Amino acid sequence: MKQCIACGIPMKKPEDFAMGDTEKEYCKYCSRPDGTMQSYDEKLKSLTGFILKTQGLDENTAKAAAKSMMSKLPAWENID
């Protein structure tokens, strides 16, 4: 089982991968409609929104949590 390099979710089935391509290292949630991986800023915005909806945190705290989570993932480990 692979894990998405951009968000960390497990990718078990082809439909979990970007464009259903099991050779990709990122999931359907971290890809753009054309199948390319979202940029850091795109993923940060998306993850911040997800945290806001699911955790009930204020925006600054949610963004800080998203940055912290992303800093531990391979796709973003060298981004400040």
List pLDDT tens digits, range 33-78: 999 999 999 999 999 999 999 998 999 999 999 999 999 999 998 8
Work out the angle between the directed axes of helices 40-55 and 59-70 (0-180°, nearest 10): 120
* Residue 6 is assigned to a structural domain of this protein: yes
- Sign of dihedral through CA atoms 11, 13, 18, 23? positive
* Residue 33 is assigned to a structural domain of this protein: yes
pTM of the model: 0.86
* Residue 75 is assigned to a structural domain of this protein: no
Q: Which residues of 26-52 are buried (b: 16+ CB within 10 A; e: fewer)?
A: bbbbbbeeeeebbeeeebbebbbeebb
Q: What is the pLDDT of residues 9-32, one digit of tens each?
A: 999 999 999 999 999 999 999 999
* Residue 79 is assigned to a structural domain of this protein: no
> What domain range includes position 20?
2-70
Q: Which helix (H) or strand (E) holds 49?
A: helix 40-55
Domains identified in the chain, total number = 1
